[in-house]
Copies of this chain bind each other. A is one copy, B any other.
């Protein structure tokens, strides 16, 4: 178990300038982190957004991560940093109590004799590691995970319980894969033939770079011919579907329930909000932001924010308006007719005298 830092040590670890409130003690050991409103005098808090500024004055936290501009308003000890939200993120690592298993292969794990498991890796009970798989130093293969033949799990990468990596997939270093995620299942490919479907066996693999996080139940399919590729530092939430041969650029983030269809390319530094969708074979430019539940149906050429969908309202009003949606084209044509007719009335000279 990591020991919790004193205020002085915390400041040091976060690169913060500690400005003690009167009577405060640099040797106090905060018990954890909390919001400005909920923090107890034993906890550290943070002011990451102007919208929470009003809570600063009444906070009971023992110290607050703040920017220089707002440090003077802090009624308790201030931990002055450039970017309080980032400092908060760094601080969470110090208070995280997620258990980390000791290195070694649990006797109830099943590791093929032809697998190559680093002695500093940890293989939990019920995990299955198949032939020619390689597990790097410090990697954790959680309980009941499966790592398929010839797949590779990079050093420091953690697979949470139940994650499944099919054969021939490559996961880089320092990744996190949450429970029930499935990496390398067959892409959905079938050729129609005489009104039936002939399977296109998926001959490619999956290639995941370093520092990628993959949420629970998320699926990343293997490529049909080449690989499906996830770039460095990409963060993917739960229940996301990444189809065969998709490419996701470095440092993009994809929120829960999003789906990217086959052979689509998402650029670097993109964000897809929850439930976003991208159809197959399109390209999304670097730095694009797709809002919640938007379906991207063609390529996006330049960075920006993109949306689709309709606003919600009470069902009665919604129904009235939704019905009109089916008449929109007709409405547009009627509008055009009206404009012409009205123009004729207003400028009777153009088409001939009215009187």
Interface residues, chain A, with chain B CB atoms under 8 Å away: 32-35, 38, 83, 85-86, 88-90, 92-93, 95-99, 106, 108, 110, 124-126, 128, 130-131, 142-144, 146, 148-149, 160-162, 164, 166-168, 176, 178-180, 182, 185-186, 188-193, 195-203, 213, 215-217, 219, 221, 224-226, 233, 235, 237-239, 241, 243, 251, 253, 255-257, 259, 261, 269, 274-275, 277, 279, 289, 291-297, 304-329, 331-332, 334-335, 338-339, 341-342, 345-346
Contact = CB atoms under 8 A, between A and B. Distances in A.
Given A241-B239, A256-B188, A274-B259, A332 B338 contact: no
A90 to B, nearest CB: 6
Nearest to A161: B146
B186 A178 contact: yes
Q: Which 4 A-B pairs have the closest CB atoms?
A: A308-B312, A96-B201, A89-B191, A92-B201
Contacts of A95: 201, 203
A347 to B, nearest CB: 11
A291 B191 CA distance: 18
A326 B311 contact: yes
A131 B204 CA distance: 38
Given A321-B329, A335-B331, A167 B99 contact: yes
A324 B329 CA distance: 6
Nearest to A319: B307
Contacts of A178: 182, 185-186
A139 B315 CA distance: 42
A198 B196 CA distance: 43
A217 B215 contact: no
A178 B85 CA distance: 37
A185 B251 contact: no
A142 B130 CA distance: 12
Given A185-B238, A304-B314, 14 more contacts: A38-B225, A38-B226, A97-B167, A128-B143, A162-B180, A164-B180, A195-B269, A241-B274, A257-B257, A257-B277, A292-B297, A309-B318, A331-B331, A345-B346
Contacts of A226: 38
Contacts of A259: 239, 256-257, 274-275
A90 B201 CA distance: 8
A89 B194 CA distance: 14
B311 A308 contact: yes
Contact of A315 (B176, B179, B291): B291
Nearest to A199: B89
A334 B343 CA distance: 13
Contacts of A317: 326, 329
B312 A295 contact: yes
Contacts of A335: 331, 334-335, 338
A190 B235 contact: yes
A130 B142 CA distance: 12
B325 A310 contact: yes
A161 B128 contact: yes
Contact of A323 (B93, B193, B196, B311): B311
16 contacts: A89-B189, A95-B203, A99-B148, A128-B144, A162-B164, A176-B186, A241-B256, A256-B259, A261-B274, A275-B295, A295-B309, A306-B313, A307-B318, A308-B313, A321-B327, A338-B342
